[in-house]
Amino acid sequence: MGSFNSGTGGFNVGSFNAGGGGNVGNFNSSFGNNVGNFNSGDGFNLGSFNSGGGQGSNTGSFNSGAHNTGWANSGNTNTGVFNSGTLNTAIGATELLDLDNSGFGNVGVGNSGFFNIGDFNSGVGNNTSEGDLNVGLFNSGVGKNSTGIGNTGGNNVGFFNSGALSRGFFNPGMSDVGILNMGASSTGVLNLGFITSGALNVATQRSGFLHGLVPGW
């Protein structure tokens, strides 16, 4: 039914359908059973401008691949908008290893949230490099298992820790607990030494205040 339909089957409704039968719309080119306009592939597309193989089965428009639901998806079995890859449920996700990203602008595997790069991150802006398993906001670096905001390194809990295994705020050392500790294994505030407890300790293995800053102390 329509004009200029051609192919191996009938039951085309519309115009300029070529391929098989069962097309509803215009300018469909495939093995048939397309509903919409300008669909190409193996058929069973619902929408417009869908292309792909594997029995098509795209729902939406501008999908390239198979079994996509949404708009402008490239790949297979994506749900959402502008997904590239496989098994993404999101907007603008680029998936690498056939595991799920959910959220917006995630790149990697199993990310949940927004603008995460890496694997299994949850939050916003984690891993501007290549870390994994971070939870929070803007955790970056090659570290893993950071929880908090702005941590660089691995296994940090807190805010803006740049070392590893630190708990607290602005610790650039390792295994520190507190605030602005620059050494290692320190607990307190502004300790520059190692294995210190207290505040403003520069020496090593000290407990209290100002060790190493005052002569003889």
Domain boundary, last residue among 111, 126, 157: 157
Question: Do 103 and 176 share a structural domain?
Answer: no
Question: Do 142 and 97 share a structural domain?
Answer: yes
On whether the CB atoms of residues 186 and 174 are closer than 8 A, the answer is: no
SS3 for 65-131, per residue?
Answer: EECCEEECCEEECCEEECCEEECCEEECCEECCCCCCEEECCEEECCEEECCEEECCEEECCCCCCC
Residues 41-60 as b/e (b if ≥16 CB within 10 A, e otherwise) read bbbbbbbbbbbbeeebbbbb
Q: Residue 170's domain spans which residues?
A: 165-217
Question: Do 48 and 1 share a structural domain?
Answer: yes
pLDDT value at residue 187: 92
Question: Do 45 and 10 share a structural domain?
Answer: yes
Question: Do 89 and 23 share a structural domain?
Answer: no
Domain boundary, last residue among 33, 52, 80: 80
Q: What is the pLDDT of residues 70-79, one digit of tens each?
A: 887 777 777 7
Question: Do 107 and 74 share a structural domain?
Answer: no
Q: What is the pLDDT of residues 49-105, one digit of tens each?
A: 888 665 568 888 788 878 888 887 777 777 777 777 777 776 666 654 445 677 777
Q: How many domains does the chain have?
A: 3
Residues 9-29, mean pLDDT to the nearest whole number: 75
The beta-carbon contacts of 132-135 under 8 Å, at least 24 apart in sequence, are: none
Question: Do 110 and 51 share a structural domain?
Answer: no
Question: Do 112 and 56 share a structural domain?
Answer: no
Domain boundary, last residue among 120, 140, 157: 157
Question: Do 170 and 115 share a structural domain?
Answer: no
Question: Do 73 and 1 share a structural domain?
Answer: yes
pTM for this predicted structure: 0.60
Tokens 């502008």 belong to residue: 82
Question: Do 87 and 76 share a structural domain?
Answer: no
